[in-house]
């Protein structure tokens, strides 16, 4: 059953702690993306990766870091430098050639107190 | 700078009615315009998409109308059903950008009985 998995679904952390969100895909897609969703602001791109061991900043990369050591995996770390980390985080993937369609995972809701 | 503007922010439609959501874009280099549907607590899913070489695309009860000269596109949901109640996002992408999507801020649709 192909798709994108994100874990955990809910995550709670204390302020000042780094936290890593998991994203795995078995669609054999080259590109992967991380978005942040806040009420009334749509989806904003944090980081994206077109190929293993390479990634680029999106529109709101400050306070976040990523790695792409395997094609299937694109974990996102929310660092203590992120001023407002509480949000719904969505991972997506797509082919690079022939289609712009992005497939989304179910999301992780992060709450930092 | 918001490159894709979406309206209205929320919409209430009676069952059987037509739901219309509008988007306007600024970047004339955009060449792919998808609509995503998102249910609460879930990731967005592609609903329908259009490229600027056609003015309309229909899939079942869902139709995209595209006006290249006005830089506008809209989603029409015919015979709206309670199961259509969700948040809808328009988006845009351009060739050569790793399929990056720029999203509108979303429209929360409620279909009443």
A96 at B interface, C-beta within 8 A:
yes
What's the pLDDT band for B98 if we cut at 50, 70, 90? low
Is residue B101 within 8 A of residue B91, CB to CB? The reply is yes
What average pLDDT does range B60-82 have in this prediction? 97
B100 at A interface, C-beta within 8 A:
yes
Strand-pairing partners, residue A91, are A34
Pairing of strands B10-14, B107-112: parallel
Greatest mean pLDDT range, B14-23, B41-50, B96-105:
B14-23
Which chain A residues are closer than 8 Å to B41 by Cβ?
106-107, 109
Q: What is the pLDDT of residues B1-24, one digit of tens each?
A: 568 999 999 999 999 999 999 999
Q: Prior bond to B8 cis, omega within 30?
A: yes
Integer Cα distance of B65 and B50 in angstroms: 9
Q: Which residues contact A60 (CB under 8 A, 6 or more apart)?
A: A36, A44, A45, A46
What's the pLDDT band for B73 if we cut at 50, 70, 90? very high
Query: Which of A40, A48, A107 is the closest to B100 by Cβ?
Result: A48
Q: Count of H helices and E strands in chain B?
A: 0, 11
B48 at A interface, C-beta within 8 A:
no
Q: Walk along chain A (113 residues) in steps of 10 and give the mean pLDDT of each run.
A: 88 92 95 92 91 94 97 96 93 80 94 93
Q: Do A45 and B93 make contact, defined as CB atoms within 8 angstroms? A: no
What average pLDDT does range B85-100 have in this prediction? 86
Q: What is the pLDDT of residues B22-38, one digit of tens each?
A: 999 999 989 899 999 99
Q: Do A41 and B105 make contact, defined as CB atoms within 8 angstroms? A: yes
A108 at B interface, C-beta within 8 A:
no
A43 at B interface, C-beta within 8 A:
yes
Integer Cα distance of A108 and A76 in angstroms: 11
Kindly identify which residue of chain A lies nearest to residue B107, measuring between CA atoms: A40
Integer Cα distance of B31 and A36 in angstroms: 24
Q: Do B49 and A90 make contact, defined as CB atoms within 8 angstroms? A: no
């Amino acid at each position: 059953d192909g798709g994108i998995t994100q874990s955990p679904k809910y995550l709670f952390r204390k302020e000042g702690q780094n936290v890593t969100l998991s994203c795995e895909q078995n669609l054999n897609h080259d590109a992967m993306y991380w978005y942040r969703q806040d009420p009334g602001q749509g989806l904003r791109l944090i980081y994206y990766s077109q190929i293993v061991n390479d990634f680029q900043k999106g529109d709101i990369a400050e306070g976040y870091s990523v790695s792409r050591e395997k094609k299937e995996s694109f974990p996102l770390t929310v660092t203590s430098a992120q001023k407002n980390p509480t949000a719904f985080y969505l991972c997506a993937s797509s082919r690079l050639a022939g289609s712009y369609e992005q497939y989304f995972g179910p999301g992780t809701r992060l709450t930092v107190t | 700078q918001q490159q894709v503007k979406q309206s209205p922010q929320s919409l209430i439609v009676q069952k059987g009615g037509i739901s219309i959501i509008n988007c306007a874009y600024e970047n004339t280099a955009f060449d792919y315009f998808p609509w995503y549907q998102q249910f609460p607590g879930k990731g967005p899913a592609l609903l329908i998409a259009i490229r600027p070489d056609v003015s309309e695309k229909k899939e079942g009860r869902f139709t995209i109308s595209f006006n290249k000269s006005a830089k506008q596109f809209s989603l029409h949901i015919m015979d709206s059903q309670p199961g259509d109640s969700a948040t809808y996002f328009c988006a845009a992408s351009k060739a050569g950008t790793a399929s990056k999507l720029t999203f509108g801020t979303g429209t929360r649709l409620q279909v009443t009985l």
